[in-house]
A = this chain, B = another copy of it.
Amino acid sequence: MSQIVVEKKVLNENQKLAEELRAKFREHKILVVNIISSPGSGKTTLLERTLERLDKGRRVRLLTGDLQTENDAKRLAQWGFPVKQIITGGTCHLDAKMITKHLEDWPLDTFDMLIIENVGNLVCPTSYDLGEHFKIVMLSVTEGEDKPLKYPSIFVRSELMLLSKVDLLPYLSFDAELAKKNARSVHPGMEIIETSSKGNGLDTWIAWLDAKIKAVKSGELVSA
């Protein structure tokens, strides 16, 4: 069997498990988001600042992926919401099987939102459906305006782009308008929120999540 045939087989198997996950999330009306970026764009930091602001009674759980270490889960667990680390070993992305396994002992009627923080990688996670409602791509202002052009697939497939670390703009030659224009050239009309760990955009981002949770609960947003 050629490499391409095996890859297709792996993706087909993943898709089947992802559909099973999606059906479960639909049944229990759980919003699921899958956050993807380069290593070091600030996924974990943004999630920390997000959890810090959420009312502790909110029914939110998190899965965070990495090749090695429990560092991210430890950082996220500080804020009082259930978190599990998925260690992939050498694998450059999360897959639906890993999600299924790590959800086994979490009763699905006990939460409203599952946040999945993928492995830091702009390429591999793009092809793996995790049963999520939305992929969200994060791009930091330290990375260069041309990333949407160089890694178009993930920008095409993401509902939302978080432009992170905007507090650093005064010290960089990064052109934020050009970065947004590039993102929207590969994904017309793409939603974009500017964020930073200093607080920029966090209210808008949390309101975005809340609107989606509400839409899932009301049945207005159904993933298929």
Give the distance to chain B from A184, nearest Cβ to Cβ, in Å: 16
Q: Is the CB of B121 within 8 A of A92?
A: yes
- Please classify how large the interface on chain A is, using the bins under 10, 10 to 19, 20 to 34, 35 or more: 35 or more
Provide the residues of chain B in CB contact with A40, threshold 8 Å: 38, 140, 142-144, 147
Task: Quote the shortest CB–CB distance from A49 to chain B (angstroms).
Answer: 13
In contact, B150 and A66 (Cβ under 8 angstroms): yes
For A20-63 the 0/1 string (1 means CB < 8 A from B) is 00000000000000000011100000000000000000000000
Whether a CB of chain B sits under 8 angstroms from the CB of A135 is no
Q: A3-B10, A6-B6, A165-B142 are in contact. Are A153 and B90 (CB under 8 A)?
A: yes
Give the residue name and chain of the B residue nearest to A167 (CB). B171
A92 to B, closest residue via Cβ: B123
Which DSSP category, helix, strand, loop or mixed, fits chain A's interface? loop
Answer whether residue A211 sits at the interface, using C-beta atoms and an 8 A cutoff.
Answer: no
Binary per-residue interface labels of chain A (74-96) against chain B in the complex, 1 for a CB within 8 Å, 0 otherwise: 00000000000000001010000
Partner of A152, one of B2, B68, B144: B68
Across the interface, do A149 and B38 meet the contact criterion of CB distance under 8 Å? no
A binding-site residues for B, Cβ under 8 Å:
1-3, 6, 9-10, 38-40, 66-69, 71, 90, 92, 119-124, 127, 140, 142-144, 146-147, 149-153, 165, 168, 171-172
